[in-house]
Amino acid sequence: MNKHKEYKHLALLYRDRAALYQSRIALKYKKQNAAHWQDISWIDLIENSDALAKALMSENIQHFSNVGIFSRNMPEWTISDIALMSIRAVSVPLYATDSVSQIEYIIKETDMKLIFVGEQEQYDKMLEVIAKLGIILKIITFDDTIDLKGNVNAMHFSDFLNKGRQENDEELNLRLSEVDLEDVVTIIYTSGTTGVPKGVVLRQKNFLNSFKIHDMFLDISEKDVTLAFLPFSHIFERTWTLMALHNGMTNYYLLNPKEVVEVMAEVKPTIMCAVPRFFEKTYSAVVEQLEAYSPLKKRIFKWAIQIGEKIMEHKRTFENISFFEKIQYSIADALVLKKGRAALGGNIRFMPCGGAALSDDINRFFQSVGIHIKYAYGMTETIATITVFGDAGFKFGTVGKPLHGVELRIGENNEIQIKGDSVFSEYYKKPAETAQAFEDGWFKTGDAGAIDEEGFLIMTERIKDLIKTSSGKYVAPQLVEMKLIADAYIEQAVVIGDNRKFCVALVVPVFSILEKYAKSENIQYNDHSALIQNKQIIQFYQKRINELLDDLAEYQKVVRFTLLPNDFSILSGEYTPTLKTKRKFIGEKYKEVIEEMYR
């Protein structure tokens, strides 16, 4: 296969892959609570997408018509994606957890006439939205067991496919003959952490260029196995899955992301995308397990990690490894490191990671175990990754070097600015916002950073997220938060301090570890709320926080903090679906708690 062949459309690329791979497995998936994985071959993938394409055209879905996809990860998601490309229509993803108000906004702005939904929860939400907006909207349900509740404008996916199979190929072939690099693939809405959500318009040329520059950098092939657990509605997993198909990988689709560690051990992926939160939670679980070890086992574990880090550093900096170090590493690997990799399936070659800041300490820990994290920087507007860690030569404290063909510069207020063929062209129906996003052809990311003397990009903070204290000092909250959550006893932390004399923090403990500490200290409590109000516990956290932030300037340090009994989450509103902190929302929700810290 010549994967470097120039294509002008993804629909043509995937038809070529189907002709090459034929009966080879393209996708593997499980239904809810099913015991066994089911397969979809390349032939079936394209046949189903063609049938769906014809069914969509029979519903008068035209060139550039907007069609919604509101679902968790299922094979039908990708079948729909390819079908929409094939008829030059546009997919508009919605997160499976989106609220009714978020859905209303996107449906009204995109004027969609048809939407795919995953399961009963999404279907019922759509009925609520349709009733509120007073519109007619065709709904196709991926799950054939959904109760349609007598809705004449709804149909199960399998029935819709059968409808398409009865149509002839003439119109589909015509549309495929007219495809163009400028065709819009998708409109992906930003999370809206800094304002109204904006629809990022991404074209065929953006995706194809992204594939091209990644193919030049990454060693991937049809021998690889990948597991999709991040939502397809996010640019990161969506682009990776489309690129994995481009490279002929076997793709496992995970319906429930909470099962990811268990499923990794089962399917043994060689590559898998992840966000920093995955590594943070996995690291916390390791630390919790370590607490139960005997003193001897703890010493062995720490020694093995130190040896792993030494070998990793040699490889990272292209230094020779001595014979004695190789012997040490083989022992450390047998006793500890290999078991750590086995917990994530044992076959991981690398794991792309982006979407938020990752602590250097946590990054270094996994690299030392032998899990190579390709830490990266990118945005929806840039088709995800534009800088990334290499196999070697990467540099902690940075987010890697730019990929081939990507230009970077630092503008006013230390803003990272980007130019390249993978950068988007416009925000949907928002010409003013589009104009504001560019300067002389450079996309202004809204992120602050620097480029060091070796060409590595250092991303410091969202500019709009910077805290300006009443004394005029600027604090990057993510820097402080990363230091805090690297601690074994801190699950989550949010720093507040805009226009205040000093910074404070809302801190969620790792209760499973904290409870063991409380037991060892004979601290009595009835529930988590009582535990975090205990003076000894508060003093314990005060000491840890002071030590964690000791190397920061005084104005950057957390002067006061409050422990919270419950996690921040997407459902309760503190996180976006991509696990970005909604600082403004948190400030309003915990207003009384915050004000108390400033009294």
- pLDDT given at position 192: 59
Residue ranges of the chain with per-residue pLDDT less than 70: 1-4, 191-195
Three-class secondary structure of residue 15 per DSSP: helix
The burial class, CB within 10 Å (0-12 / 13-18 / 19+), for 237 is: buried
- pLDDT given at position 436: 95
- pLDDT given at position 599: 83
- pLDDT given at position 194: 53
Going by C-alpha positions, the residue among 13, 11, 376, 426 that lies closest to residue 202 is 426
Going by C-alpha positions, the residue among 521, 526, 539 that lies closest to residue 565 is 526
- pLDDT given at position 243: 96
Q: Are 63 and 89 in contact (CB under 8 A)?
A: yes
- pLDDT given at position 345: 96
Going by C-alpha positions, the residue among 446, 439, 334 that lies closest to residue 380 is 446
Q: Domain residue spans in the chain?
A: 10-179+218-267, 277-347+350-420+438-462, 466-597
- pLDDT given at position 460: 85
The fourth-level CATH superfamily of domain 466-597 is ANL, C-terminal domain (3.30.300.30)
Which CATH number fits the domain 277-347+350-420+438-462, given the four candidates 3.40.30.10, 3.40.50.300, 2.30.38.10, 3.30.720.200? 2.30.38.10
Distances (CA, A) of 119 to 32, 83, 572: 10, 20, 21
531 token code pair:
């535990």
- pLDDT given at position 3: 57
- pLDDT given at position 193: 55
542 token code pair:
């005060």
Give the tens place of pLDDT for each residue, 460-471: 888 888 888 888
At the top level of CATH, the class of 10-179+218-267 is alpha beta
- pLDDT given at position 5: 76
